[in-house]
Amino acid sequence: MRDPRTGDHSLLVAYYSYKMGQILNLNKEQLFLAGLLHDIGKIEMSDEVLKTDKKLSKVERKQLKNHVLQGVFLLSEMEFDSNIIEFCSQHHERIDGSGYPLGIKHGKLSLIGRIANVTDVFSALTAKRKYNHDDSYSTLESLKLMEASTGFRSRCTLRFINGSSV
């Protein structure tokens, strides 16, 4: 309600996660719900950080990154399924360990976490967002960027790219 772009992003993550559930024969409905809720921790964030179109300071970046842990806390308090909490907790992790909040590496990043980070980044790349100056990448450009990045070199990314009909 406070930020329609974040709402639109969450709907797209939910949709792409549902599609990944179809591709991988997983619980599609649960992945859809996880995608809707993955950024719920942003509800605790100030509008100045959430809605800004300027470069964030170190303090503001820390506040932004904290949305993951806030989301995990909120979803745990509401007793959501562990898979939904895992999706939220790992949506900014990368298989090369460059993500946050924990810097989880390849062997420790779950399949749900890989689905979360692939669908989250794809949605962000293809959507018009303030932080990329309202420019977006085409579907093909986004998929090529993800395929080339060391943070996304996994079978999950390849399945998304090869199974993508977006």
Q: Provide the annotated active-site residues.
A: 42
Residues 132, 26: Cα–Cα separation, whole Å = 32
Residues 57, 68: Cα–Cα separation, whole Å = 18
80's CB contacts (< 8 A; 6+ apart) are 37
Token pair in block for residue 113: 């976490």
Residues 83, 116: Cα–Cα separation, whole Å = 11
